[in-house]
């Protein structure tokens, strides 16, 4: 058994190794900043996820559950004693973990429920620190009935700021996702300003701000671009009163424009495909949808002038 300090030092060294001289490695040099979320492949093993990502020239994977475990801090694959091995597996394939997706919701008003949400987020921050992952995603997530808007925004922003205070000395940034009741730029901008923390920023789910927020991607990036650190992209079409996710470029979500808007803004994060197979088992199989995204998004990025960036 190794102690916590040894395990952190070993993990950090293994994760840094392939990037210190990344420009000398063809498999690193040629990779564009593309990733995918494990939400899209809920049945895959850890090894299957890594091998698929490397085979399709992804640069990163985003962890949102591993098979039956949605709480990554309880996943056997990420147990403390296994993290040095995990770091080595990532390094051997030239991969990074771009973000850890927690389920923590900052809108909870009940003291006990709020404490549980903050505890989950802190555990994810600790895991991110141990793995060398820069971001942990949390949700806003709702306007609580009967609570005035201003009180709600202040409450959520306070939770974000508390998490930012915890994350900052651990070299982790907490990202609120444009999700739930918070898919419009004015509300998100107000939350981020009220949080007022260098360790709190935005995960832009570009699908949600377009479909639910009714915003053009250029407008969202203009208003929120300085806060965007990580991005979810996916395509869909109307289906009754809901939406159905479809292969990238075959729906009515302007994915190409979303990527172009980010590229023009100077964005340097990953473009992560969030195929919601876990929540919608009837959509295309991950081996089809994720591979197709890699091909289509690569074309979009190259068309927008985005090149490979070793050491990203």
pLDDT in tens, 179-198: 999 999 999 999 999 999 99
- Taking only Cα atoms into account, the Rg of the chain, rounded to an integer number of angstroms, comes to 19
Q: Which residues of 122-138 are buried (b: 16+ CB within 10 A; e: fewer)?
A: bbbbbbbbbbbbbbbbb
Residue 100 has a CB neighbour count (10 Å cut-off) of 24
* The pLDDT of residue 222: 98
What's the whole-model pTM score?
0.90
When mean pLDDT is compared across 22-36, 123-137, 228-242, the lowest value belongs to 22-36
Average pLDDT over residues 290-302: 98
Cα–Cα distance list, 281 to 40, 42, 194, 275 (Å): 9, 10, 38, 10
Task: Report the C-alpha gap between 245 and 290 in whole angstroms.
Answer: 12
Q: Write down the domain spans for the chain.
A: 4-303
* The pLDDT of residue 303: 97
Task: Report the C-alpha gap between 253 and 246 in whole angstroms.
Answer: 10
Task: Give the pLDDT confidence of 15-52 residue by residue, as tens digits.
Answer: 343 333 333 343 455 799 999 999 999 999 999 999 99
Task: Report the C-alpha gap between 121 and 115 in whole angstroms.
Answer: 10
Average pLDDT, rounded, for the chain = 92
Task: Give the pLDDT confidence of 237-289 residue by residue, as tens digits.
Answer: 999 999 999 999 999 999 999 999 999 999 999 999 999 999 999 999 999 99
> Kindly report the CA angle at 161 between 222 and 107, in degrees rounded to 5?
85
Average pLDDT over residues 217-224: 98
Nearest to 233 by CA among 32, 30, 34, 31: 34
* The pLDDT of residue 42: 98
DSSP 217-272: HHHHHHHHGGGEEEEEE-EEEEETTEEEEESTTSSSS-HHHHHHHHHHHT--S-EE
CATH number of this structure's domain 4-303: 3.20.20.150
* The pLDDT of residue 309: 57
């Amino acid at each position: 058994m190794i102690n916590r300090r040894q395990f952190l030092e070993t993990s950090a060294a293994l994760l840094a190794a392939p990037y210190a001289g990344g420009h000398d490695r063809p498999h690193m040099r040629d990779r564009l900043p593309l990733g995918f979320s494990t939400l899209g492949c809920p049945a895959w093993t850890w090894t299957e996820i890594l091998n698929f990502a490397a085979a399709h020239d992804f640069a990163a994977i985003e962890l949102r559950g591993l098979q039956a475990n949605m709480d990554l801090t309880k996943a056997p694959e990420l147990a403390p004693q296994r993290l040095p091995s995990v770091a080595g597996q990532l390094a051997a394939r030239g991969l990074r973990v771009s973000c850890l997706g927690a389920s923590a919701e900052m809108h909870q008003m009940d003291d006990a429920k709020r404490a549980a949400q903050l505890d989950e987020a802190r555990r994810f921050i600790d895991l991110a620190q141990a793995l060398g992952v820069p971001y942990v995603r949390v949700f806003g997530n709702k306007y609580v009935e009967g609570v005035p808007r201003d009180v709600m925004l202040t409450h959520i922003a306070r939770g974000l700021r508390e998490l930012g205070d915890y994350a900052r000395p651990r070299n982790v940034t907490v990202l609120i996702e444009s999700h739930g009741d918070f898919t419009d730029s004015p509300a998100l901008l107000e939350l981020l300003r009220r949080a007022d923390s260098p360790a709190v920023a935005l995960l832009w789910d570009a699908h949600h701000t377009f479909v639910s927020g009714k915003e053009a991607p250029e407008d969202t990036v203009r208003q929120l671009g300085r806060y965007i650190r990580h991005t979810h992209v996916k395509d869909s079409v109307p289906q009754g009163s809901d939406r159905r996710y479809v292969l990238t470029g075959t729906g009515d979500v302007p994915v190409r424009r979303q990527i172009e808007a980010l590229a023009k803004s100077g964005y340097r994060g990953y473009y992560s495909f969030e195929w919601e197979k876990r929540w919608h088992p009837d959509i295309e199989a991950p081996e089809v949808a994720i591979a197709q995204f890699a091909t289509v998004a690569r074309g979009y990025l190259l068309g927008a002038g985005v090149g490979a960036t070793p050491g990203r």
